[in-house]
Amino acid sequence: MISIVIPVFNEAECVEKHLKRIQNRISSPSLVKEIIVVDGGSNDNTIEKVKSFEDVLIISSPKGRAKQMNFGAKQAKSEILYFLHIDSLPPENFDKYIIESVKKGSDAGCFKMKFRSRHPWLQFIGWLTRFKPRFCRGGDQSLFVTKSLFNKIGGYNEEFLIYEDHEILKHIYKYADFEVIPYWISTSARRFREKGILKLQFLFLMVYFKKWTGATPEELFKFYQKHIDESSKKA
């Protein structure tokens, strides 16, 4: 069975709608043991909105996506963990595809991803996600991983306030036959719209370049705060 872990922070505007959509895409309740929403200290009414779902567990942890996902994984009761961003919508019957992949021997994997946008550059980025190399990965693609492998590699590195998805994949690729399931997960392009598509893509490439040249997690986060998400300074 699968435990779905969803980190959130101040998502009151969309959390109800997206949770309903996620639930509607589950093929069978027998395959999903639980949905765990991990709140990182929201100061809007995100928690209250999640509590309206009787079959969704809401827990709180220190803020930081890596910390939240690790905390959710510790509470999870299933052998398969599925980490999902709240603004990413998995394909119909995603639970069935994950179970089938694990049964075939893949201890970790994700779906192909497309942005909910018709912009040619974002469509090109989505097209790249069908390929297996690690540089084609991103957190918005979601991640399923067996709990035994997750524990073996020590979970997410909590030093990384950004880039945590790429960091864990570095370790997963060493041990797992990683599978890109050939069905689409869709994700929001809201940050690209707000910041400018090509500008934001350039800034993300700068983050990867800085990591490649030896930047520390703290240095990466400071760059992110300054150039990508100034609101994180106030959090």
Residues 34 and 13 in one domain: yes
Q: Are residues 172 and 110 in the same domain?
A: yes
Domain end call among 188, 204, 219: 188
Specify whether 30 is located in the same domain as 132. yes
Block residue for tokens 């996902």: 69
Assess whether 59 and 137 both reside in one domain: yes
Q: Which residues pair with 113 in a beta bridge?
A: 185
Question: Residue 46's domain spans which residues?
Answer: 2-188
DSSP code string of 21-87: HHHHT-S-TTTEEEEEEEE---SSSHHHHHHT-TTEEEEE--SSHHHHHHHHHHH--SSEEEE--TT
123 and 93 within one domain: yes
Give me the pLDDT at residue 27, please. 96
Residues of the chain with pLDDT under 70: 230-235
In DSSP terms, 58 is beta-bridged to 37
- pTM for the model stands at 0.93
Residue 60 and residue 126 in one domain: yes
What pLDDT score was predicted for residue 139?
A: 81
Count Cβ atoms within 10 A of the Cβ of residue 173 and give its class: 0-12 exposed, 13-18 middle, 19 or more buried: middle
Note the pLDDT of residue 193.
85
Which pLDDT does position 102 carry in this prediction?
97
Q: What is the CATH number of the domain that holds 85?
A: 3.90.550.10
Domain co-membership, 71 together with 87: yes
**12 and 100 inside one domain:** yes
pLDDT tens track for 55-106: 999 999 999 999 999 999 999 999 999 999 999 999 999 999 999 999 999 9
* pLDDT for 230: 53
The token duo for 16 is 């109800």
- pLDDT score recorded for residue 235: 37
Please give the Cα distance from 129 to 182 (Å, whole number): 10
Q: How far is CA 114 from the centre of its chain?
A: 14
Please check whether residues 84 and 13 belong to one and the same domain: yes
CB 189 within 8 A of CB 113: no
Total count of domains within the chain:
2
The dihedrals phi and psi of 234, each to the nearest 5 degrees, come to -90, -10
Both 105 and 210 in one domain: the answer is: no
Looking at the fold, whether 221 and 154 belong to one and the same domain comes out as no
Identify whether residues 29 and 80 lie together within a single domain. Answer: yes
